[in-house]
């Protein structure tokens, strides 16, 4: 199975066209909201995978799973990692305008062929200037 090099959730990324270097901007660990539902403009989940020589050209599925305290079931975002001819491969899951309906921990997981590989927690907290009791 491909090995996970890294997995992060951030606001944005940039890939240099000449060097293929990745810059990751504003890794998300905590978000503050005045009220709910809270809509975040955009976020991106980045995972980097290393494939063994005998795995090149294989068919693998990378899934981003988002769990929120207000959801009964997670949201899944699959991407196929198939027919790859490179040993290292990056997967980007970009979420535009995700809406969150409860304060607490947002758990982002990356799965490979249905198996958990890593997670990233973002805490959604109420802004300090608001009284949580109303």
User: What tens-digit pLDDT sequence spans the chain (134 residues)?
Assistant: 899 999 999 999 999 999 999 999 999 999 999 999 999 999 999 999 999 888 888 889 999 999 999 888 999 999 988 766 778 889 999 999 999 999 999 999 999 999 999 999 999 999 986 555 55
**Confidence (pLDDT) at 81:** 81
Structural fold of domain 3-126: Immunoglobulin-like (2.60.40)
Is 32 strand, coil or helix? strand
**Confidence (pLDDT) at 116:** 98
Are 125 and 32 in contact by the 8 Å Cβ rule? The answer is yes
**Confidence (pLDDT) at 58:** 85
Structure tokens at 93: 């899951």
């Amino acid at each position: 199975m491909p090995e996970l090099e890294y997995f992060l959730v951030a606001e944005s990324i940039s890939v240099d066209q000449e060097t293929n270097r990745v810059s990751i901007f504003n890794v998300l660990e905590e978000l503050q909201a005045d009220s709910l539902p809270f809509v975040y403009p955009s976020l991106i989940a980045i995972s980097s995978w290393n494939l063994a020589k005998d795995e090149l050209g294989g068919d693998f599925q990378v899934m981003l799973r988002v769990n929120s305290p207000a959801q009964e079931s997670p949201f899944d975002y699959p991407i196929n990692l198939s027919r790859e001819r490179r040993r290292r491969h990056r997967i980007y899951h970009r979420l535009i305008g995700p809406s969150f309906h409860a304060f607490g921990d947002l758990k982002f997981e990356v799965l490979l062929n249905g198996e958990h590989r890593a997670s990233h927690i973002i805490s959604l907290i109420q802004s300090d200037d608001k009284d949580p009791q109303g």
